[in-house]
Chain A
Amino acid sequence: MNPTRKRRLIVVLLIFAASAVAVSLGVFALQRNMNYLFTPSQVQRGEASNYPTFRLGGMVKSGSIQRSNDSLKVTFTVVDADGNMPVEYTGILPDLFRDDQSVIATGHMDHARFVATEVLAKHDETYMPKELKDAMAKAHQGRAMPANADQGESP
């Protein structure tokens, strides 16, 4: 490699390394503020108390959804591993909203209750046809299907 190319290579690599370091420092600095959401247990520990409005993320507790008869008001409970939070929302819910669904609600605390202005459903990375899901549910109840049916979606 001739000296000119060597010099260019070094300059290019240095600039690239410098920008990579700058960006990763930025990313690490943001890491603490980049939390898209708080879980119910984090909220109960008071970690979200500095934020007038924040996002609450977790699973909809099975059987906790209660719809009002005369308005779009819905109440449900969002849970994570060791916390739960009652949520109140007025409006149209996304298609994926149902029991045991991961949701992200934006809103504020009103005493012990979370009043949401927006509720988003988080989809997970699993895609499977309905027949397979039904078969899996059956296997889960009866434990009749072989164990690998549970993860049988992919080669």
Chain B
Amino acid sequence: MSGKWIPLWLHKLGSPPIFYRFAGKLRPWLLTLALLLGAIGLYGGLVLAPADARQGDGYRIIFIHVPSAWMSLFIYGVMAFAAFLALVWRVKLAEVAAMQSAPIGAAFTLITLVTGSLWGKPMWGTWWTWDARLTSELVLLFIYLGVIGLYHAFEDRRQGARAAAFLALIGVVNVPIVHFSVNWWNTLHQGSTIRLLGPSTIAPGMLWPLLTMMAATKCYYLASLAARMRTDLLDLESGKDWVRKLAVEAAQP
């Protein structure tokens, strides 16, 4: 790295041993926060929030479905940005972050599709329909799976990461399609309830658990990413001094 505009602490954080220690310290806090917020959000959503006027209690699946759907797009954004850094600047840590984000994002996408399907059967009358929102979310899952598969298809893991990073970057075009599909086309899926610009169309008693769940899933993602990246860094740098030191320390009684 040669850019003088990057602050020193960010430079330092980019080094695997420092990141390893930093992520290890941060992870328990993030995990605690995720569990706490998740418990509050689920209690608020499943118990405290009032039933919907038309859907009754069936709407409560949104407290899982909507945060997962947001995360499926958010993680993709993070992954693509890290992939971009990995491709142009060959930042090792960015490579690891991108490749370790993919399975978490894929899991959230799968949860989104499954919970949406479970809701769709009683409310819409079908498990699945090929409308633009559902199809583009399914494509998102396939891109995630493609990134994971391509990464593991190479003998040399750094070469694999570069190839997969390209796929991740190209797949970004699908993200706005998923988000705007409900506006661009006539879809069975409803439009956005929570809007950054303009009023949201949800009662406050239902909104706060939803936003709490959103924070919980974000914390969970960061905690999970920290754990995955730590493990992966040990593997990637297994020949290096700092890993050997760690191993020796751990071996001592």
- Do A130 and B50 touch across chains, with their CB atoms under 8 A apart? yes
Min Cβ gap B252→A in Å is: 42
- Do A132 and B203 touch across chains, with their CB atoms under 8 A apart? yes
Q: Give Cα distance in the complex from A93 to B121, angstroms.
A: 11
- Do A95 and B123 touch across chains, with their CB atoms under 8 A apart? yes
B28 within 8 A of A: no
Please report which residues of chain B, range 199-222, place their CB below 8 angstroms from some CB of chain A when the two chains form the complex: 199-207
Cβ–Cβ < 8 Å partners of A111 in chain B: none
Of A29-37, A43-51, A68-76, A138-146, the stretch lying at the interface with chain B is A29-37
Q: How large is the interface on A (under 10, 10 to 19, 20 to 34, 35 or more residues)?
A: 35 or more
B122 within 8 A of A: yes
- Do A24 and B173 touch across chains, with their CB atoms under 8 A apart? yes
Min Cβ gap A75→B in Å is: 17
A94 within 8 A of B: yes
- Do A12 and B131 touch across chains, with their CB atoms under 8 A apart? no
Binding site for B on A (CB under 8 A): 1-2, 5, 8-9, 12, 15-16, 19-20, 23-24, 27, 31, 34-37, 57, 92-97, 104, 118-134, 151, 153-155
Instruction: Name the one of A20, A34, A124 contacting B185, with C-beta atoms under 8 angstroms.
Output: A34
Q: Give Cα distance in the complex from A5 to B91, angstroms.
A: 12
Min Cβ gap B122→A in Å is: 5
Known A-B contacts A1-B3, A104-B188, A123-B190; A129 and B53 likewise in contact (beta carbons under 8 Å): yes
Q: Give Cα distance in the complex from A130 to B88, angstroms.
A: 54
Extra contacts besides A12-B169, A24-B173 (13): CB < 8 Å = A1-B2, A23-B173, A23-B177, A27-B184, A95-B123, A104-B188, A118-B125, A120-B188, A123-B123, A130-B50, A133-B54, A154-B203, A155-B207
Residue of B nearest to A124 (CB): B190
B32 within 8 A of A: no
